[in-house]
Structure formats: structure tokens, C-alpha cells
Structure 1
Amino acid sequence: MSQDAIVIGSGIAGLASAIRLKVKGYQVDVFEANSYPGGKLSEITLNGYRFDAGPSLFTLPEQVEELFRLAGRKAEEHFEYEKLEVACHYFWEDGKQLKAWADINRFAEEVETKLGEPAQNVREALRSSAFIYEHLAPLFMHRSLHQVSTWTNAQAMKSYLKMGKLGIFSTMHEANKQRFSNPKMVQLFNRYATYNGSDPYQTPATLNIIPHLEFNIGAYFPKKGMHEITQSLYKLAEELGVKFHFNSKVEEILVEKGKAIGIKVQEDIFLADLVVNNMDMVNAYKSILRKQKQPKKLLDQPKSSSALIFYWGVKKEFKELGLHNIFFSEDYKTEFEHIFKKGSIYDDPTVYINITSTHKPDDAPKGCMNWFTMINVPNNQGQDWDQMIAEARKTIIDKVNRVLKTDLEPLIEVEEILEPRTIESKTSSANGALYGNSSNNRFAAFLRHANYSSDIKNLYFCGGSVHPGGGIPLSLLSAKIMMGFVGD
């Protein structure tokens, strides 16, 4: 007998959940408040320029490919990507520049030549990152932390013996400062804390697991842009028979006798055997689960950082820029103090510029570039964002002018802005935080909501605000972990 499943939200984890449920034999309906799928992983078009609106780094492509294989498709016939030769271009105000080559030996040699940091230190850092991944990924990325079996299996026991080497007892900054002699390399490796909206001066050194994904495994680019991840999975879901309901904001998850039985959309009731919530966990409890018991401890956890993004169409090509570019702050510690302690934007922020037209030329008119220009900012706590945005815009342009020795303002011919308030309104992310709860303490991994409800039967959770965390790979894995509980 066929069973019905409802998925709330068509973010990347919602799409993955819908596909997995359909493959398992469920009749699946996805309800999305927006008029398009993808959540943060969407796109913007402006007068001949195309921008990937949200996540811009692609790692662990096998998590996407697995969904096609589950559905009996050859992934390469539906979704194409290429491995990057250079993961990122780094710039400092003293004129130093660095290319983070995918070839680890080449990267290490470039670091030694350009910064005087022994190449061996880079190799050791990436070996250490691989070691952390080997011991922690099976626990924290691929299994639920809310099952006893996760902590009692042979892999877990093996990892317990290595705790001292896994970075649990020190901060990311402390670990990197011990490893590198050049402050620029400490800063470069500290940057990986921002991949889940954290502060390297507070978050545990276990987050040094992240460079392994980018270097040892690889960074990639979908040939049609990041938005193609969304589009390819959306098309796959439709082909499988998943039904999508856009412009359909869910008002309430219906619960009867301790079981989720469906949802309410305006005045309409839709019943199902199970409900999967892909909406931000905090906002879900405050809105569509407001009548249910609230997990206060989880809801009150500090939130991750947010982002201020300027989508700029630039009437010039800068040959020194690649797909991923970082213009570092001169005082990284003070920048993070402003974000996490003062709730403000530092007057010398680190600037990230993603330019997909370097790999996909039709994303910008000939001779032009599409700049996704982002700085990390605090989540929304009621600040005067209009003033802060205006000041940050000038600060960013001044910094780019100094580093690239240019006059950027006259070159900007189109502009759109995404900031914490609009991130929250468009994606239902609590306070506009990009990654849900913050990871700024060693227990953060344990302070994420499970992939199921312990109070409401047949209610499940996926997405970046629950276990195992934010970003494309972890969001996709949240759907996979969630499926392990369906039918239990």
C-alpha cells in the first residue's frame, strides 16, 4: 500500500529528501513558500548578468551523484562538473598574492616561495586535516549523533583513542598558530571557520577538517553554475513523480495524538503518513510548530554569522581574479570580534568575490565580469542595517581599489543586494543566520536538532539548521541520515 509523504521546503536537503522518499516508494508532495525551488541555492539575473545567489563552493560532488544513482540514472548524463585547478586566489593589502593550487605539492611550494612558510608545514596541515576527517566524518557527517549505536560502534571506539589529535581541546586559531610561522598562513587556514559561520578564535580545532574537503578531495564547479545543482535535482524529482506546490506557505504542521498527520496551507488541509521539515528549525518551531513543545535549549543557542552580498555587474575583466577570491582583513581577530561580540561590521572586513564568468563566460556580457561580492556579518539583531550596508559598500569598494589598483565604482553597471533581513525573509533562516546555530564551542555538534522529532512521531528534519550542519554536502547528508529513521 502506497504511503504519502510531505516535504516542507525545497532547499537542497528538501529536494534530496523528496528524491529519497520517492525512490523508497512514497507519494511525495513538496510545499514551497517561494515561487522557485532551491532555497539559498538559487540564481539572480540582471541585464545580461547571471549570479548564483547563495552557496558558491562545491565539494563532495558524490553526494549529488548518489541521488541520481538511487533513481537509476547515470549522473553524468544529467549533471556535469569540473575539478578546479586553483581552489582560491588570496590577496593581502601589502601586495602579497597566493594561488591555492589543487595540487598540494604545488600549493605548498607556492606558499614557501611567496610567504616563506616551509612547504612541509602546509603538507602536515593537510595530513592533519585528513586525519581528523578519517576519524570524525563517519561519526559527525554520516551518522546521527542521537543514536547510541553511533557512540558504541568500532569506528567510534577507534576515534576515542585519538581524541587528543582531533582538535577537540583547542581552538582553530590556537592549532593553526602552532602549526604555521607566517601569520598570513594562520589567517588563511583560520578562514575555514567561516564555512559554517563560525569564529576561528572560538570554534574548536576539529573544524580544521574542512581544508581536507577542498584540497585533499577537491573543489569543483558545476559547468552550468551552482544553480544547476538545484535544477538537476528538481528535474530528477519531477521525473520521478514528486509533486511540487510553489507559492504555498505552510501555516502549521498538524499533530494528532502525538503524531504528525499533515499540514495546513491557508485554509487547505493536506494529510500524509509522514512530514519532513526542511525549513530552518528555529523558525519552524516558532511558526508551523508553535503549538507543540518547544526545544528551548536548542532554540536559545547563539546563531551563526550571516552575510552581506553585493551582486555587481562589472564592466571590465580583471585577469588576476579567478572563480574564488579573498581580500583579507589586516586584523582578522578584530573583524570576528565585531561579528560575534559587537554585532557590527568591522571597517576592514575580509572580502570574498566569486566570479563564475571566469569558468562560464555567458554569465556576463563580453569583456565584463559577474561579481558575487560578500563579507561575513552578524546575524540580524535589530541593527541599523541601512546605515551599516551603505558604510560597508564604501569600505569594500575602497579595499578592492587599493588591492587591485583600480577605480571600481564607475565599472559597476548593475547591482542587487542580499543582507540578513532579506536572507531571513527569502529563506526563513532565523535572524538571517546562514548556518543555524553557531559552532563557537566544542559542544556545538551536540547542540543541533536531531533528524527526527523525539516528541512527535512521523515528523522528521533535514537541512542546514539540523544535524550534521550547514553547507551543500552536510545538507545533502542530513537528508540521507534522516531516511535512516523513516519507518522506524
Structure 2
Amino acid sequence: MNQKSIIIGAGIAGIAAAIRLAVKGYQVEVFESNPYPGGKLSEITRKGYRFDAGPSLFTLPEQVEELFLLAGKIPSEHFDYIKLDVACHYFWEDGKSLKAYGDVNAFAEEVETKLGEPSENIRKALRSSAYIYEHLAPLFMHRSLHQWNTWVNPQALRSYLKMGKLGIFDTMNGANQKQFRQEKTVQLFNRYATYNGSNPYETPATLNIIPHLEFNIGAFFPKKGMHDITQSLYKLALDLGVKFHFNAKVEEILVEKKQALGVKVNQQEVLANLIVNNMDMVNAYKTILKKQKQPQKLLDQAKSSSALIFYWGIKKEFSELDLHNILFSNNYKEEFEHIFNKSSIYHDPTVYINITSVYKEDDAPKGCMNWFTMINVPNNQDQDWDTLIQEARKNIIAKINRILKTDIEPLIEVEEILEPRTIESKTSSANGALYGNSSNNRYAAFLRHANYSSEIENLYFCGGSVHPGGGIPLCLLSAKIMTEMID
């Protein structure tokens, strides 16, 4: 094959698409507006501290390994990782805490001991999560929802008979209230809605599929940090002959007679047989596809939540903290009410702290820690962010001080901030939303933009803003679905 393909955006899905197309024999060029690959999956280094800038949880590592296998390489020679014995540490204001062990039985016993939740309820919930995954993952994660053969194949027909058990007709919170006795357990399992920027009080219980990934399959950590996912795949793409252009912002997708012919970049036209858009779908239609027919219903759909992240170099080690740590709000429902309905930040936010130096010691100076400190916030709707960030910082520090019984402010010797406005400007994410359109109703959770254009021939889409959704595994799967469509 001697055909040429152009990929717009070097996010993780764009890199994966480049690898898959190169393996198929395409000549591949990637145009990226930033000076680096990876999109959100990048890194920050400051004064001896290294931070993974974006996604911090790693699940389904086989999706990364598959790309090396396709290229005829041994994955472990290029990318290495470990399985976590403890997926997360949870803390509450009343002094209770627990470790979410990777082993299901150990986790169930820990929840019973620390929260008083019968261990069998945990096992039952994780069996239910596995059941949802078994019936929905092959249908919704590995196939296009925009082709008839997805809906009429035998596996799909079997799943239709089980819709009541798959959470389609209940909310995540509603389902969790039914299966758990303790509110803290409900809160712990409601948290999984945040994995795709949703509200557990509105999103369908189908998203209770997520705990299966973390517990039944496992949570992992790349030995060189999350950014190594980007770096290892970027190197693989280069080895396959993919050509990357950085600081190269695409100005327009060239379309003639409903056929994509190439792109305009730096006022120059670059032609190709195939165009793949890895840019956020909403902003792509508003900018590089603004002359084309707009999918207005999708563009108008509510967006997911965003994030406020403080990258803190902390000149002390805290033995009670692990790689992933959650300090829960006292009023979870009110926190989500502020995020999604009041477009503001609750005064008592849930705080997530990711510390890679626990496993990768050179990410911080000796005796120090690199804290990726994040709260969920609304997407950008022109709020007074400067004031909101200042207030949130005070509230985050106060919460950390109360729960860890410390004074964290004097220990912060490095600080960088990422917030909805800079997320939008750095990653072209509409409104700074982390996961594209919201999944806060049973239809939006599944009916995202297709991996191809129904209006323009030779135009395809991948990334977190299109099917099957956001997060590293789904972004990688979007590239897989897209390239299989080309066949």
C-alpha cells in the first residue's frame, strides 16, 4: 500500500492511530499544535520534581501492549509496568480511612473492618461490575455504535435481554444505594463517575462497569511514570516511519465534493488519501471544519467536568500516603450539585492526591514527594476563575491539614497550576472539559460522535471526545475501532 494518511493531533489516540495505520502500510504524517506529543498525557519538570501532567490511573495495559505486538516487537522490551497491591487510599474527615487492596477478598474484608459494610456486598458489587463488563464491553468498547452490524450481531441480541441487569434504567447512585448499607461505601463506589467526568447522581448505573477494571482486572503503574506511555508509543511510531510535525497547527481540513483531501497548515496545503481527526470533536467542528455541516445536537450537548490541579513539590514524606489517595467531601451530593448545576466549586471538595515518587523515587528529591493535587470542577463557562482558584486552594490546604494533621503550606516549595482555561488552550478541549460531552443521561453515555464522518468521505475521528469515550484505554480503543473501519 502506498497511500498517505494525515492525523490531526498527537494525543495518545492520535499516536495509536498512527501506529496502526503505519503497520497497515500507510505513509503517516501527524500534525500537532504543541511542541510535544501526548496531549493531556504529558509531564512537567520543575526544580528536581517530575509530575505526570494528566491521566494518572493506568488500567487495561494490554491496549498498550497490543500496539507493540502489531509492530512485531516484544512489549516488555519497550514498556514496563507493575500491578498495584493497593489501588487507592481513602480518607474521611471523621478519621476513618481504608486501603483499597487490589485483591478483591482483601478489599472486601478491609471495607467490612473499617466501614462496617458486609464484605459480601463488596464481592457482589464487583461480580455485578464484571457482569456488566462481560456483556457491554465487547459491544460498546470494542465496536462502533454507528454501524448496524454492531446492533444485530448475536452478542448484542443476547445483551438486550439483560438490559435490566446492566444498569441502563437506574443511576449510579441509585444502584449503589440499593447494594450497600453504609453511606461511605456508596460514596466510594459513586466516585467512579468521575473517571469520565460525570455526576453519579445522574449518570446511568452502567458506569458501575468501571470498578471491574480497577479491582477484578487491576490497576497498574508504568515503571517510568504515566508519561512513558506517550514516550514509548511515540518512539514506536517513529520506528515505523511516522513523521511528526510539532508547532504545526492545522487551520482547515480541505474538503471538496464531500471528500476530505488534506489539510491546510501554515498556509500550505498538504494532501492525503485519509484524514484522521484526534482534536476535540467540538472544537474541530468550530474551527477546522467550520465550513462543513455541523452535528448540532452533539455540539450542543452538555460537557463533562474539568479539573483544577496543583502540582506541588512537598519537602516532606508522608508514610500514610500511597500512589493514589482520596480525601472525601462530607457532602458528596452537594459537591456535584456545585460542579454540574451551579458551575462553581464546593467549599469542601473531594481532593485527589497522586504521588508517583512513592514508586518512582527519582520523581522528587530525597525526603520529598511530588503531589499531583486535583479536585473536580465545572468546565469553563467564563467564571471568575482567578477568584475560584484562590478560594479552592485555601479550602484544599485546610482539608489536607485537617485529615493528615499537618501544616502543608510551608512544605510547598514548587507549585504549578492547571485549570479549565489552560486545559482548553493547551489541549483544544472544548470548555476545558476533560472527557468531551457529558455522560449524565443514559443516551449521552453511549451515543458519542462516531469514529467516522457520515457526511465527508475519508474523514475519521479518534480520541476521548468521540466513541467510546475518555481515558487512556478508551482513547486507544477509539484508534483501534477507527482503523478497523478503514478495512
Tell me which interval the TM-score lies in, with the shorter structure as reference length: over 0.9
What pairs with 1:175-190 in structure 2 (closer than 5 Å)?
Answer: 175-190=175-190
| Counterpart contact for 1:98–1:114, Cα < 8 Å | yes
Question: 1:380 — aligned with what?
Answer: 380
Secondary structure of 2:130's counterpart equals helix
Question: 2:6 — aligned with what?
Answer: 6
1:74-128 deviation per Cα after TM superposition (whole angstroms, max 9, x unaligned): 0000000000000000000000000000011011111111111100000000000
1:203-241 deviation per Cα after TM superposition (whole angstroms, max 9, x unaligned): 000000000000000000000000000000000000110
| Counterpart contact for 1:445–1:468, Cα < 8 Å | no
Per-residue deviation, 1:484? 1.8
What pairs with 1:383-462 in structure 2 (closer than 5 Å)?
Answer: 383-462=383-462
The whole-number CA distance in structure 2 between the counterparts of 1:446 and 1:434 is: 17
TM-score (norm 1): 0.99
Question: 2:195 — aligned with what?
Answer: 195
The whole-number CA distance in structure 1 between the counterparts of 2:192 and 2:267 is: 45
The whole-number CA distance in structure 2 between the counterparts of 1:210 and 1:168 is: 15
Secondary structure of 2:51's counterpart equals strand
2:283 paired with 1:275: no
The whole-number CA distance in structure 2 between the counterparts of 1:433 and 1:140 is: 22
Whichever residue aligns with residue 147 of structure 2, its letter is Q
The whole-number CA distance in structure 2 between the counterparts of 1:448 and 1:113 is: 41
The whole-number CA distance in structure 2 between the counterparts of 1:276 and 1:157 is: 31
Whichever residue aligns with residue 458 of structure 2, its letter is N
Question: 2:71 — aligned with what?
Answer: 71
The whole-number CA distance in structure 2 between the counterparts of 1:484 and 1:323 is: 36
Secondary structure of 2:27's counterpart equals strand
Question: 1:314 — aligned with what?
Answer: 314
Per-residue deviation, 1:256? 1.0
| Counterpart contact for 1:304–1:437, Cα < 8 Å | yes
Question: 1:115 — aligned with what?
Answer: 115
Runs (4+) of structure 1 exceeding 4 A deviation are: none
Question: 2:480 — aligned with what?
Answer: 480
Per-residue deviation, 1:50? 0.1
Question: 2:367 — aligned with what?
Answer: 367
Question: 2:296 — aligned with what?
Answer: 296
Whichever residue aligns with residue 246 of structure 1, its letter is F
What pairs with 1:99-178 in structure 2 (closer than 5 Å)?
Answer: 99-178=99-178
| CA root-mean-square deviation | 0.5
Whichever residue aligns with residue 337 of structure 2, its letter is E
Question: 1:17 — aligned with what?
Answer: 17
| Counterpart contact for 2:203–2:445, Cα < 8 Å | no
The whole-number CA distance in structure 2 between the counterparts of 1:455 and 1:209 is: 33
The whole-number CA distance in structure 1 between the counterparts of 2:127 and 2:150 is: 25
The whole-number CA distance in structure 2 between the counterparts of 1:66 and 1:258 is: 34
Per-residue deviation, 1:445? 3.3
Give structure 2 stretches of 5+ with no counterpart.
none
| Counterpart contact for 2:446–2:468, Cα < 8 Å | no
Matched-pair identity in %: 79
| Counterpart contact for 1:90–1:325, Cα < 8 Å | yes
Question: 1:29 — aligned with what?
Answer: 29
The whole-number CA distance in structure 2 between the counterparts of 1:486 and 1:188 is: 41
The whole-number CA distance in structure 2 between the counterparts of 1:227 and 1:108 is: 32
1:248-288 deviation per Cα after TM superposition (whole angstroms, max 9, x unaligned): 00000000111100000021110000100000000000000
Per-residue deviation, 1:486? 1.2
